[in-house]
Structures are given as structure tokens and as C-alpha cells.
Structure 1
Amino acid sequence: MSVDNTVTAKTEDVATVEYSAPSFGIHTFVATICDIDVQFQIFKMDGSLLIWIGSLAEPTFQDLTLAMKTRYDALPLTTKLLGEGVDMVSSNLASKLVKKLGKPVYVSFNLPMDKIILPGIEQRLTEEIQLYPDKFD
């Protein structure tokens, strides 16, 4: 008794695979602000951005806010997805970026709140947007 393990396929059953360009990009840069090495990671997704800001020495992910425009109000809608609700740094930054970039923005701000360092972080991020607009569009 013999067993036939042959499998035949019809030509119309063959699938074709089409490759497409990736729709997800990552851009990373570091800036020293007030003697702190701050790392910025930009995750460019299809139709939105995630901007992670944290310590180069001790990276964490303990905060996340989403901001987006709505047709009902001139101010962007912001919502805290992760972290303490009393910390408004990521909400304020995400709101500013939505106005500037015109797309939904997630911001994860993972540094201690410091009124001295915050303007430097915003300035460096604005410079990067001007230098590399394709990383943010």
C-alpha cells in the first residue's frame, strides 16, 4: 500500500504579493538642555505623530497625551492616556504641536517638570521641525 503526498495547485489559486513603501518612520535626536541630555524620538505614522521626550540616561514611558483638532472648537481636544492627570506639560505641548502641524499628535513627556528646561525643549523641537519638516509631515 502506498501513500501519495503530492499536492497540486491550480494557477488561479496562486496569490500575488505586492510590496509597499513603509508608512512608519522614526527620527531620533538628542539635545543637551540645562546640563541634561534630552532624547527626542519622533514616530511618524500614517496621519499622526508620536513624540517621545525623555532622559537619554534613564528612558521611561510613563506619560502619554493625545491632541487633535475638532470642527467644534478652535482649541485642540487633548486627553491624557497615561500618567498623572495633574501634569499638563504633555497636554500643552501636544496642543501647540497640533496647531503647528495640523494632524493628531501623541506626546509622551518623561522628564521631571522644570520651568527652566521646558522652554529649551520646546525651542529645540521647533528647530528640528524647521530643519527636517519631512520627518513631521
Structure 2
Amino acid sequence: MDEHVPSSASSGTASIEFMKPNCEIHSFGTEVAATPVHFQVLKMENSLLIWIGSGTDPTFSDLGMALNTSYDRLPLCTRLMGAQSDMASLNLASRLTKKSQMAVYVSYNLPSDRLILPAIEKRLQEEIKAYPEKFGIV
């Protein structure tokens, strides 16, 4: 396939440059308390989107994000979608932003259970340690 494809325009000739995509998807899963848990990681140029949910009922009902600023050593966090009382996605996004030094979006679509959440975060940290390039951590 040509890298430059000429196309006509009113004032002359224009060209379209095809670029290699900057996004990568990484999927993995685990079972926590007899519940199948799936992870989808979308690594973009300067950010990550991590979806965590059930394999039997996949939803996208929660989204939190965190990013570093030059004004504070703690990441700035905000909820973009979901219940204000549920802090699971914001806490995960904040910790991952500190580690990766990039903006991190987390969609946590499971019940916030004190027993399940640490096991899910542990599995996520194991995957980051095993495949840091999939998370943009070098």
C-alpha cells in the first residue's frame, strides 16, 4: 500500500499520509472468589485505559482518570462516569499514574468488595511486572 495517496483539492493536490497506529490492546484474566475477572488494557501514546469487569456480565458503567501535574506530587483524579461514592477506579488510576508517569483511565465494573479488590489489584500488578511494555512502563 502506498504511504502517500494523492487526492485532488480545489487549490491543487493534497496527500494523505498513512501512519502506523499508536494503540495496543492487551487482554488477560483471572478468577477471584469464583468470579471470572477480565482485564483489557488499551495503551495509547501518552495514556492508558484499563477496563476491569466480569466475563459473564461485561459492562462499562464506571470511569475514573488520574494524571500528574506540576502543581502537586499527588496525581489529579476525577470521576468521568459512575457512582460518586465508589472510589475503586480513582484509587487504581492514581496509583498507576504515579507508577507510569502518564494519564491513566480505569473502568472498574465489579462490586467494590474489600476482599476482591486487593486480589484484582495484585493480579494487575503481577501483569504489569511481567509485561511492563504493554503498560508503557520501561
Q: Give the aligned partner of residue 57 of structure 1.
A: 56
Shift of residue 114 of structure 1? 0.5
**Could you tell me how far apart the structure 2 residues matched to 1:123 and 1:133 are?**
15
Shift of residue 14 of structure 1? 4.9
Q: Give the aligned partner of residue 79 of structure 1.
A: 78
Shift of residue 16 of structure 1? 4.1
Name the Cα RMSD after superposition.
1.5
Shift of residue 39 of structure 1? 0.3
- The TM-score with structure 2 as length reference comes to 0.86
**Could you tell me how far apart the structure 1 residues matched to 2:59 and 2:14 are?**
43
Q: Deviations over 1:45-104 (max 9, x none)?
A: 121000000001100000000100111111110000000111111111110000111100
**Could you tell me how far apart the structure 2 residues matched to 1:28 and 1:56 are?**
12
Query: Can you give the 5+ residue segments of structure 2 that lack an aligned partner in the other structure?
Result: 1-7
**Could you tell me how far apart the structure 2 residues matched to 1:85 and 1:17 are?**
44
Query: Can you give the 5+ residue segments of structure 1 that lack an aligned partner in the other structure?
Result: 1-8
Report 1:51-130 matches (<5 A): 51-130=50-129
Instruction: Give the share of equivalent positions with the same residue, in percent.
Output: 52
Is the partner of 2:78 in helix, strand or coil?
A: strand
Report 1:17-28 matches (<5 A): 17-28=16-27
Number of residue pairs the alignment of both structures matches: 127
Higher strand share: 2
State the one-letter code of the partner of 1:60: T
- The TM-score with structure 1 as length reference comes to 0.87
Q: Give the aligned partner of residue 32 of structure 1.
A: 31
Shift of residue 25 of structure 1? 1.2
State the one-letter code of the partner of 2:25: I
2:31 corresponds to 1:42: no
Is the partner of 2:31 in helix, strand or coil?
A: strand
**Could you tell me how far apart the structure 1 residues matched to 2:14 and 2:80 are?**
41
State the one-letter code of the partner of 2:110: L
